[in-house]
């Protein structure tokens, strides 16, 4: 029988469990899947915001948004559209019920265990197809799944699981695919324009302007190792300024270094945003 077996809510940045369904499932396969789920919960910040991991006859599905991850274990035959609709309901209820600051400041595991009441009620509904079909509309979810299907993970994406080492892939280091940056601020626009100005001045004077152009690119687009690249580009700006010390006055050097530092700061402040799935909103 297709059904939802277990669900949990975790904090993305460190994998701290915030709430979970209080189940006493003794099946060995389910217990093994929960171990994979625990490992995944500590890697959510490195993974796309919607994924599926197949573990034998069970699937682990999860979504993450606004710093919180919503995870579940279900039978392999359970439809993906229902699985992610289930997670979407958990997400909408959780962000309405609990303040973001309270979530960020939580220290103890399962600080929101009272949310289990909603998890259990929702799980019961999704395990009863007859009562479910008349209460939710899956058309939007089906469209969303077709347009942006969940990424299919493998155990090699998890690193070390249950004492066995897997070859770790680097495709998620840095930024997850399809992730958008936060909206541009006025300070960010100003920093980008000043960087372009510095690049133009360097180009006119016969000095390479690749550092300033790279900073503008890093500010505008989501790339892997983004923060490291921004620091590297700022370091190159400082080195070039030292090299040109005798060709420019102190104010010119100070202007270029200050603009580089300001743009680097804006790049670090403009982080990837948690995409809020709009399955049925």
pTM to 2 decimal places: 0.57
Rounded to whole angstroms, the Cα distance separating 119 from 97 reads 13
DSSP letter for each residue of 32-72: HHHHHHHHHHTSGGGS-SEEEEEETTEEEEEEEETTEEEEE
pLDDT at residue 177, rounded to an integer: 45
Q: Which domains are seen in the chain, by residue range?
A: 4-158 (3.30.450.50), 186-269 (no CATH)
pLDDT at residue 90, rounded to an integer: 94
pLDDT at residue 68, rounded to an integer: 93
pLDDT at residue 194, rounded to an integer: 85
What SS3 state is found at 21?
coil
Nearest to 230 by CA among 211, 210, 208, 207: 211
Q: Which residues of the chain have pLDDT under 70?
A: 1-2, 24-26, 129-137, 159-180, 204-208, 247, 272-281
Nearest to 157 by CA among 72, 62, 238, 67: 62
Rounded to whole angstroms, the Cα distance separating 240 from 256 reads 10
244 bridge partner residues: none
pLDDT at residue 72, rounded to an integer: 93
**∠ CA 113-71-162, rounded to 5°:** 100
pLDDT at residue 163, rounded to an integer: 41
> Which residues lie below 8 Å from residue 265, measured CB to CB, with a gap of 6+?
191
């Amino acid at each position: 029988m297709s059904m939802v077996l277990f669900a949990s809510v975790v904090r993305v940045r460190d994998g701290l469990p915030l709430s979970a369904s209080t189940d006493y499932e003794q099946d060995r396969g389910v217990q093994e899947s929960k171990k994979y789920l625990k490992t995944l919960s500590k890697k959510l910040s490195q993974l796309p915001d919607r994924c599926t991991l197949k573990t034998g006859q069970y699937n682990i599905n999860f979504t993450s948004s606004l710093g919180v991850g919503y995870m579940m274990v279900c039978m392999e035959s359970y439809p993906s559209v229902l699985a992610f609709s289930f997670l979407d309901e958990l997400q909408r209820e959780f962000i309405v019920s609990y303040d973001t600051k309270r979530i960020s400041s939580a220290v103890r595991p399962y600080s929101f265990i009272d949310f289990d009441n909603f998890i259990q009620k929702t799980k019961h509904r999704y395990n009863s197809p007859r009562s479910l079909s008349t209460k939710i509309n899956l058309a939007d979810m089906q469209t969303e799944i077709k347009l942006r299907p969940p990424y299919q993970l493998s155990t090699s994406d998890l690193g070390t699981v249950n004492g066995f080492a897997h070859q770790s892939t680097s495709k998620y280091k840095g930024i997850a695919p399809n992730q958008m940056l936060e909206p541009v601020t006025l300070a960010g626009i100003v920093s980008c324009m000043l960087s372009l100005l510095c690049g133009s001045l360097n180009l006119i004077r016969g000095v390479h302007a690749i550092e300033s152009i790279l900073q503008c690119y890093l500010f505008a687009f989501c790339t892997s190792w983004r923060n490291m690249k921004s620091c590297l580009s700022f370091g190159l700006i400082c080195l070039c300024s030292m090299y040109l010390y005798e060709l420019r006055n102190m104010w010119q050097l100070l202007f270029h270094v200050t603009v580089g530092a300001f743009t680097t700061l804006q790049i670090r402040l403009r982080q990837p945003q948690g995409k809020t799935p709009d399955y049925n909103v």
